[in-house]
Structure 1
Amino acid sequence: MKKKLAVLGLAATMMMSLFAGCGGKGTSGGKDASADKGSVYYLNFKPEADAQWQELAKIYEEETGVKVTVVTAASGQYETTLKSEMGKSECPTLFQVNGPVGLASWKDYCADLSDTEVYKQLTSEDFALKDGDKVAGIGYVIESYGIICNKKLLAEAGYSMDDIKNFADLKKVAEDITARRDELGFDAFTSAGMDGSSDWRYKTHLANLPVYYEYQADGINNTKAIKGTYLDNYRQIWDLYINNSTTDPKQLSVKTGDDAVAEFVAGKAVFYQNGTWAYSDISSVGDENLGMLPIYIGVDGEENQGLCTGTENYWCVNAKASEADIKATEDFMAWLATDDTALKAICGSQGAMPSGADGMGFVTPFKKNLESDNLLVNIASQYVADGKTPVSWNFTTMPSETWKNEVGSALTVYASDQTDANWDLVKKAFVEGWATESQAAGN
């Protein structure tokens, strides 16, 4: 999932200007839209899946005669792009929010999907995003992330995945590999790049762990004021990543997501934090050599922890679109949830597209979800089958993209000079920043 959906709260005046920009009913959709059939304009959140969505749009259009336009936002620019597109006369009819915080900004644009076929196809109500009694969004992909492992390299270092059951084990193995890096010819971790193509793995995905454990301890699922109970744990896993990797910590600000992929594929590191969506990037390592570990941060009982599993991808239909375009969009969503070709493209990996290209490799929450050929997806499922408790995705409750960026900046400063004073900057961004951004968003 290369991703991150920004969830900045919008001022009322901006929202009013967006309402005006869409121009009311009948103005959305492509210029070639049929007045009878309507049309679909999908603003896609996932840059890595652009080619697949373009191909599916073409197939659907050929089958039904309904125009489907797919526009893909650049990585990290979804919210900005969505605001811009919603201000145009031809607005997206299908867009995404990342969860409750994102919904708060766009709920007035979300049509009620409670009577739609795609809603009926959900296997659980947990994948419906509600605004009171209204079904405002439909989760369409379930993903997992953790620490992807090159088992072949791990074995060369004298270990197996069975040797790593908690943070202490991971630290022992990583530091031993670092001590013998010249002898072994590889490092423990790939670069923890803080370039925009990579920093979401740490300011959002890794930051989910201390949020998750605080919520668990306090018996809550969101908060306006995070306490930072587990920030010492956040520090020790961050320290482990940056001090046992392919890259000098002072160079992380310019390291990219592509750098980390290249390092892992080239066998320069054993461990690589990412998710099931990254399978096609690293599949050349070979299924027999790939494994996946939970992200351990040193919390009691983490031996029973599974991978971080959830969704931040909810489809929403633009309530400001014309009735014809709303109907066309709902029909397109139903096709995606039920059609074998569409589901193979969404759930399949290698060669799953009708063109022979790789599919998206997702797991869907729909009744007709196909068994995945994505090894990482199946590993995630095995953790659940083994009785491990998945770590829920609580980063959808993070108050804003500004909060994430400030945490990321503080992490970068700390990486270059690992003092207690600089870690205090991380804690300040995490705790005080959370309260400030929650208040600014009106949460």
Structure 2
Amino acid sequence: MKRITKALAASLSVAMLAGMAACGGSSSSDTAQAGGIYYLNNKPEIANSMKDLAASYSKQTGVPFTVQTAASQTYQQSLKSELAKNQPPTLFQVLGPVGLKDWHEYAADMSDTEVYKQLKDQSMALKSDDGSQILAVPVVQETFGIIYRKDLLKKYFEMPGASIKNVKGIRDFETLKTVSDEIQKHKDELGVKGAFTSMGFDPSTSWRYNTHLASVPLAYEFAQDNITQQPATIKGTYLPEFKNIIDLYLKDSTTPTSALSSKTMDDALADITTGDAVFFQNGSWAWPDLVDGGLNADQIGVLPIYSGVPGEENYGMSTGSETYWCINKKASPEAQKATKDFLKWLITSDEGREAWSHTMGFTTPFKTFTGKYVTDNPIMKAADQYTAAGKKNLPWAFLYDPSQQWKDNLSNSILEYAQGTGKWDGVQSSFVDGWAKEVASSKSNS
């Protein structure tokens, strides 16, 4: 199936959220009112695949099923708008414990659902404050790092004078920088336009930096300070290392800094799939798009995001679960039951498991995904290989990010720094001072 990219999803989302049906010609209101399923999806990369699956399920069962997808970085505002309607989504997603805090009043108890019962580790589920109810169940297990083209990196290793001769030699920021700098210096000989894909600050791609890349220094800081819940303030302990990797992305790139503001996810994907770039920071969710771009598993490898943090050679990929399903307790009892039945079908039926693990490329936290339903996603397999080699997973610190505004402000300050209209002090202020401001604001508004 042809998957939708984030940039295309952004252009379509206005129409989708205006009430266009995902299947069967019914609106979301009609679906919910009829005791059917209305799924507000937060993953633009699976929008078309999810619509196809919903149409198949509806055809088999007769249950009306609508899927609508919010554009990249607009899910929270879309969810707020949709939940306020007379016939709101029956199934929606929250982003970790901070997201659940915002929407817990809409979350039904999921203790009796098959998706909770089939969790490999039920402690992953999010509970009510008193621990009596299961309010959210993790959707997928995902990972991110620096994806690379094995075939292109091999050309570098074989190049006369290459300082690093194999991928095992890339073990920290110093060695990553050496390889990247030498690729950039010899890009014409290697037939590439740059070591890294375009950084890009269009909303379709900026989340790779204001969320995922920013999570790396946060994770190391939280580990050092034993932080296990959202802190009111942060120190920015590893901001110098954050600057290291950003500077590398900017300098050894396919794209001049003057063009970064409008570069999209499609541009970055084109860089890596056409062979214009060797490295591409992204995650396991990008695998379907890489396949659509003509790549196969033998061409793909992944490195951890090295930035110069002491001891980083002992860590593997950044792995976790950001997205959690919630069933809307304000939906009708019939719609809630229909939603639970679909989730059971998704993780137990052959068609559901095939679509989730192979068509959409997800690694799941459920016991039912065994044998041929174990993911063939090479990015997830790479994360498993680092773990098997004794490397620690880097936790997802971005689950505690205070707001989308914090991320947007961080993006703006990084872009200003990249283009020379701002200094690194602005990035530091957005990161540290902006965190305290946004946390304080969220508490005052709660």
Q: TM-score, normalised by structure 1?
A: 0.88
Is residue 248 from structure 1 mapped to residue 256 from structure 2 by the alignment?
Answer: yes
Q: 2-side partners of 1:303 and 1:47: how far apart?
A: 33
Q: Deviations over 1:241-278 (max 9, x none)?
A: 11001111222111111101101111111101011111
With over 3 angstroms needed to count, the CA separation of the structure-2 counterparts of 1:416 and 1:119, relative to structure 1, is same
Task: Specify the code of the residue in structure 1 equivalent to 2:228.
Answer: N
Identical positions, percent: 47
Q: 1-side partners of 2:290 and 2:55: how far apart?
A: 28
Q: 2-side partners of 1:440 and 1:252: how far apart?
A: 31
Shift of 1:29: 6.3
Residues 32, 331 of structure 2: 8 Å contact kept: no
SS at match of 1:88: coil
Q: 1-side partners of 2:171 and 2:74: how far apart?
A: 37
Aligned to 1:406: 409
SS at match of 2:376: coil
Q: 2-side partners of 1:48 and 1:113: how far apart?
A: 26
Is residue 41 from structure 1 mapped to residue 49 from structure 2 by the alignment?
Answer: no
Shift of 1:185: 2.6
Q: 1-side partners of 2:287 and 2:30: how far apart?
A: 37
Aligned to 1:9: none
With over 3 angstroms needed to count, the CA separation of the structure-2 counterparts of 1:379 and 1:32, relative to structure 1, is closer
Q: Deviations over 1:150-174 (max 9, x none)?
A: 1221121124311200111001111
Is residue 211 from structure 1 mapped to residue 218 from structure 2 by the alignment?
Answer: yes
Q: 1-side partners of 2:429 and 2:5: how far apart?
A: 27
Q: 1-side partners of 2:327 and 2:206: how far apart?
A: 30
Shift of 1:434: 0.3
Aligned partner of 1:122 among 119, 122, 131? 119
Aligned to 1:94: 91
Aligned to 1:18: none
Aligned partner of 2:191 among 185, 193, 201? 185
Aligned to 1:360: 360
Q: 2-side partners of 1:415 and 1:119: how far apart?
A: 45
Residues 111, 319 of structure 1: 8 Å contact kept: yes
Aligned to 1:440: 441
Shift of 1:412: 0.3
With over 3 angstroms needed to count, the CA separation of the structure-2 counterparts of 1:34 and 1:304, relative to structure 1, is same
Is residue 107 from structure 1 mapped to residue 110 from structure 2 by the alignment?
Answer: no
Aligned to 1:393: 396
Q: TM-score, normalised by structure 2?
A: 0.87
Residues 3, 200 of structure 1: 8 Å contact kept: no
Is residue 31 from structure 1 mapped to residue 39 from structure 2 by the alignment?
Answer: no
Residues 172, 313 of structure 2: 8 Å contact kept: yes
With over 3 angstroms needed to count, the CA separation of the structure-2 counterparts of 1:399 and 1:33, relative to structure 1, is closer
Residues 30, 40 of structure 1: 8 Å contact kept: no
Task: Specify the code of the residue in structure 1 equivalent to 2:432.
Answer: V
Aligned partner of 1:309 among 305, 319, 341? 319
Shift of 1:32: 5.4
Unaligned runs of 5+ in 1: 5-27, 349-358
Unaligned runs of 5+ in 2: 8-26, 158-164
What aligned pairs does 1:215-254 form with structure 2 within 5 A after superposition?
A: 215-222=222-229, 223-254=231-262
Shift of 1:182: 2.9
Residues 31, 66 of structure 2: 8 Å contact kept: no
Aligned partner of 1:322 among 323, 332, 335? 332
Q: Deviations over 1:331-384 (max 9, x none)?
A: 111111222210110001xxxxxxxxxx10001111112211222222222222
Q: Deviations over 1:295-327 (max 9, x none)?
A: 011112211211111111100011111111111
Aligned to 1:71: 68
SS at match of 1:75: coil
Aligned to 2:179: 173
Q: 2-side partners of 1:207 and 1:34: how far apart?
A: 42
With over 3 angstroms needed to count, the CA separation of the structure-2 counterparts of 1:385 and 1:213, relative to structure 1, is same
Q: 2-side partners of 1:340 and 1:328: how far apart?
A: 19
Q: 2-side partners of 1:137 and 1:217: how far apart?
A: 28
Shift of 1:199: 0.4
Q: 2-side partners of 1:379 and 1:142: how far apart?
A: 13
Question: Could you list the runs of 4 or more consecutive aligned residues of structure 1 that deviate by over 4 angstroms after TM superposition?
Answer: 1-4, 32-35
